[in-house]
């Protein structure tokens, strides 16, 4: 099976748009889907087929702790409905595993585009406890060719809309893709989230392999790189690890900022980097900041990363947003009036990913309800998303307010001290960050001094439980929410 184990990056999802709308639970169509016995049966079969795979790729703990508590209740061509017994479970699965799951599901049912999770406390525990469970020994050893994540053929230069905000990055990417000579090494693309960095990396990979299929292009996220490295260490295969990476022609590492604070990963990356450069291999990196601004990455490495061509992508302009929307609308099955596109481009300004998210949400709602897309329809469906945009609270703001509330310093919230007097407020801050911002658990982890996402999840869960019993904490939480919103 040519499935890359490390492909846990939602952004690589071929063609599929991942959308998780808990509010769908309220829509009659979802109920219809769920209520046909045949659909429910097919949903259960699909889910049962995927659990052993999830076990293989995501690990036994994930299946035991989370996935097996979900129940598949409905299935259409493009949507699988899963019921979770609690909000926590829903959020957790949504944040951490939804993309992987959708990818695994699509291996069984390629037409699947949406996973939709909702909370249903009445749902019975699923009867999947017997799903075969792989032991650690059975976990697949990574075959060399599965080193990277698959390239999404749908992201190419042709469907990348260019204006002055991304022109430099676009031209640089095209240049690297068009030449067999290494002109700048590395190519370093940087810019905020959702502005097209990953798209450009995939476009380069597609172009290079189309021109010369024998060139080995490896694309992976920095997180995946680190995971490979740790795994190699664990399996005492560091030699093979080095050899594998050094055998590639083009190495692309996405979101390199992830290695901030991870010294041994940086060290290994530095060596791999130098070895590849010496052999005249092309390296392409992306990050959310320029090399010089990457905090927590050693100076030796950042200066090395800045030695090639550094190209940045600026925030979007109205024209770019509208251009992207027109391109999408041309390909969509539903009709989008121009005024709706203009309204979206005016109101969703943060980045292209959110813009696409809003666009896809309109399509999904229109398809489920059979309604035509009008301005009023768009305004109604996207009301929540727009409210969040206007009332954007930063994690830093939350940390400051929490520190102040408890008479602590901001550094106490960020530091590693475990004393309860600081640990509790810190966990409350994590909880509020999860509740009041759209940041993912890994994002929150980074904002809390580079903590792991599992630490954040634990903090959030702890507070969720305590809020039920600890009145003082509940008061503090309510007061802080009032101050913050
Ligand atoms: P980043 O990696 O910078 O966070 P992505 O490359 O994942 O952002 O882009 C987010 C989404 O927006 C993707 O679906 C991508 O295809 C799309 N996108 C971003 N920029 C453009 C663009 N200039 N033209 C067309 N689509 C774009
Ligand atoms: Mg990206």
**For the segment 253-284, what is each residue's pLDDT rounded down to a tens digit?**
999 998 888 888 898 889 889 988 998 899 99
**Cβ of residue 161 lying under 6 Å from some atom of ligand 1:** yes
d(CA 311, CA 183): 14
Which of 146, 188, 214, 184 lies closest to 282 in space, CA to CA? 184
- Determine the atom of ligand 1 nearest the C-alpha atom of 201: 6
3-class DSSP assignment, residue 210: helix
Q: With beta carbons less than 8 A apart as the criterion, state whether 352 and 324 touch.
A: yes
Tell me the ligand closest to 196's alpha carbon: 1
Give residue for tokens 């697949």.
Answer: 140
Cα 255 to middle of ligand 2, angstroms: 6
- Determine the atom of ligand 1 nearest the C-alpha atom of 286: 2
- Cα 308 to Cα 90, 176, 185, 296, 304, distances in angstroms: 43, 12, 4, 21, 8
DSSP characters for 75-89? E-SSEEEEEESSHHH
Domains in the chain, ordered, with CATH?
A: 4-146 (3.30.300.180), 167-313 (3.40.50.300), 318-390 (1.10.8.60), 395-484 (1.10.1750.10)
Omega of the bond leading into 216 within 30 degrees of 0 (cis) = no
Residue 20, pLDDT score: 33
Q: Which residues contact 348 (CB under 8 A, 6 or more apart)?
A: 321, 354, 355, 358, 382, 385, 386, 389
**For the segment 13-68, what is each residue's pLDDT rounded down to a tens digit?**
333 333 333 333 334 444 445 557 788 888 898 998 888 888 777 777 678 777 88
Lowest mean pLDDT: which of 85-89, 154-158, 204-208?
85-89
3-class DSSP assignment, residue 294: coil
- Judged by phi (left if over 0) then psi (alpha if -120 to 50, else beta), residue 76 lies in beta
Pocket test for ligand 1, best of 199, 221, 289, 312 (most atoms within 8 A of CB): 199
Whether pLDDT at 454 is above 80: yes
Q: Which residues contact 233 (CB under 8 A, 6 or more apart)?
A: none
d(CA 433, CA 453): 13
Position 150 confidence tier, pLDDT thresholds 50, 70, 90: confident
- Determine the atom of ligand 1 nearest the C-alpha atom of 155: 16
Cα 430 to middle of ligand 2, angstroms: 24
């Amino acid at each position: 099976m040519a499935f890359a184990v490390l492909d846990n990056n939602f952004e690589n999802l071929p063609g599929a748009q991942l959308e998780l709308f808990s509010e769908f639970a309220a829509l009659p169509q979802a109920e219809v889907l769920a209520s046909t016995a045949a659909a429910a049966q097919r949903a259960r079969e699909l889910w049962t087929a995927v659990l052993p795979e999830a076990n293989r790729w995501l690990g036994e703990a994930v299946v035991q702790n989370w996935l097996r508590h979900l129940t598949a209740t409905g299935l259409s061509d493009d949507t699988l409905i899963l019921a979770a017994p609690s909000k926590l479970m829903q959020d957790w699965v949504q944040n951490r595993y939804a993309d992987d799951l959708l990818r695994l599901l699509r291996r069984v049912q390629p037409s699947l585009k949406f996973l939709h999770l909702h909370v249903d406390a009445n749902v019975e525990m699923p009867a999947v406890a017997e799903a075969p469970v792989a032991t650690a020994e059975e976990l697949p050893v990574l075959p060399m060719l599965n080193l990277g994540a698959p390239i999404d053929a749908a992201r190419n230069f042709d469907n990348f809309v260019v204006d002055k905000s991304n022109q430099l990055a676009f031209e640089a990417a095209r240049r690297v893709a068009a030449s067999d000579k290494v002109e700048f090494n590395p190519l370093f693309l940087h810019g905020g989230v959702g502005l097209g960095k990953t798209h450009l990396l995939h476009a380069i990979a597609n172009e290079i392999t189309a021109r010369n299929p024998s060139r080995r292009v490896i694309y992976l996220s920095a997180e995946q790189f680190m995971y490979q490295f740790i795994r190699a260490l664990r399996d005492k295969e560091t030699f093979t690890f080095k050899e594998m990476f050094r055998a590639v022609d083009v190495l692309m590492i996405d979101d390199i900022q992830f290695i901030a604070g991870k010294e041994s990963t940086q060290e290994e990356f530095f060596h791999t980097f130098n070895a590849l450069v010496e052999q005249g291999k092309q390296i392409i990196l992306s990050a959310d900041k320029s090399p010089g601004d990457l905090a927590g990455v050693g100076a030796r490495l950042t200066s090395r990363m800045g030695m090639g061509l550094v190209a940045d992508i600026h925030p979007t302009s109205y024209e770019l947003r509208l251009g992207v929307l027109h391109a999408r609308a041309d390909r969509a099955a539903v009709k989008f009036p121009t005024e709706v596109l203009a309204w979206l481009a005016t109101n969703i300004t943060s980045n292209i990913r959110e813009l696409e998210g809003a666009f896809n949400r309109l399509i999904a709602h229109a398809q489920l309800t059979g309604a035509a897309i009008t301005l009023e329809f768009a305004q109604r469906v996207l009301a929540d998303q727009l409210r969040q945009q206007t009332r954007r609270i930063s994690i830093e703001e939350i940390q400051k307010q929490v520190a102040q509330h408890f008479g602590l310093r901001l550094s106490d919230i960020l530091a590693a001290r475990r004393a309860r007097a600081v640990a509790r407020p810190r966990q409350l801050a994590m909880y509020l960050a999860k509740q009041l911002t759209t940041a993912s658990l890994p994002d929150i982890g980074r904002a809390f001094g580079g903590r792991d996402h599992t630490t954040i999840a634990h903090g959030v869960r702890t507070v969720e439980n305590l809020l039920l019993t600890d009145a003082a904490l509940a008061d503090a939480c309510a007061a802080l929410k009032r101050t913050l919103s």
